[in-house]
Chain A
């Protein structure tokens, strides 16, 4: 199967072929979606090795459950949910969420968000990797995936307050990292 025909295959073709067990079609499906899914795994894992494990586990789940995909939403969204659940399940046991009743709201100012926005994705990933597993999961789910605190609490089996506090702490850690970067940038400019 050449690369030209690979591009002409629709998602429906890929799903059909993969359900039938066609290994070549499965490989095409993998190559089409693995970069995005690997990025998801990298965000939730603490390192590249764990991310590779999550990627493999997630794709095996995808191929096993492909026949259950009804086509209600986008195929990519369905896959993303599988990878998200795999990542969350993987870290659920590791994460020790501290329940904090008193939430210290940490506000990241616009300029700090701008710094984050201007950073390369790779650098943002490396900063996220420095967060503890609990902070990382909540930060990813709320800031990147757009889940509400109630949804996060339901999925992770924690209190809504805990989710909020984890996010606040995650933001606090990120804020410090951004401030350090800003200081370094200023120092370089002054020199």
Chain B
């Protein structure tokens, strides 16, 4: 057994000649920022970039999907015409003004029952036109005053119309 040990311990085999070249190349690469390490680094950057891109796409997609779904929810809310307690003139336009500020569009129901999609910016105009809910006493008084004036004034001559001027002259003569 000792003989075997000594024999194998001191046994020598010449390695293939290309082995030193491979070792020398590896040592050179280690010394001068090897292509292998560069490859490893570029692989690392590639993986990092891919991961960042994947995260960005995921976040963008999630945001886009959220926005779209909220818009779709808003669009899907077709307003059922309101049944007003008093049948005033404002009943002809039932409006979907709830959350008007948070939506791009609102849908109103026309007097003929057609659903019309309009910009939410017009919501305030519709609210202003509705004098009942909420009541607008000052505005209402003004409108009523103008209404009275127009109703009492049977003839409103226009200066550009010759017949109106003639009519106005006759009216003044009659008054005198």
Could you tell me which A residues sit within 8 Å of B by CB distance? 21, 23, 26-27, 30-31, 34-36, 38-39, 42-43, 52, 55-56, 59-60, 63-64, 113, 116-117, 121, 124-125, 143-146
A27 to chain B, nearest CB (A): 6
A53: min CB distance to chain B, Å: 10
* A28–chain B nearest beta-carbon distance, Å: 11
Q: How large is the interface on B (under 10, 10 to 19, 20 to 34, 35 or more residues)?
A: 20 to 34
> Please, which residues of chain B bring their CB within 8 A of the CB of A26?
24, 27
Task: Mark each residue of chain B from 112 to 140: 1 if its CB lies under 8 Å from any CB of chain A, else 0.
Answer: 00000000000000000000000000000
The list of the 10 closest CB pairs from A to B, nearest first, reads A35-B12, A38-B15, A117-B3, A39-B11, A121-B11, A144-B8, A39-B13, A38-B13, A59-B23, A34-B15
Q: A residues within 8 A CB of B23? A: 30, 56, 59-60, 63
* Residues of B that sit less than 8 Å from A by CB: 1, 3-5, 7-16, 19-20, 22-24, 26-27, 30-31
How far is B27's CA from A59's CA once the two chains are assembled, in angstroms? 10
Chain A at the B interface: mostly helix, strand, loop or mixed? Answer: helix
Cβ B4 vs Cβ A116 within 8 A: yes
Asked whether, in the complex, the Cβ of A143 is within 8 Å of the Cβ of B5, the reply is: yes
Inter-subunit contact A31/B20 (CB<8 Å): yes
A35:B5 contact, CB within 8 angstroms: no
> Do the beta carbons of B15 and A52 come within 8 Å of each other?
yes
Q: Choose from B1, B4, B13, B24 the contact partner of A124 (Cβ within 8 Å).
A: B4
A residues near B19, Cβ cutoff 8 Å: 34, 52, 55-56
Q: What's the Cα separation between A124 and B10 when bound, in Å? A: 13
Q: What is the minimal beta-carbon distance from B15 to any residue of chain A, in angstroms?
A: 4
Question: Is A27 touching B1 in the complex (CB atoms < 8 A)?
Answer: no
Q: Given A35-B12, A38-B15, A42-B13, do A30 and B20 touch, yes or no (CB 8 Å)?
A: yes
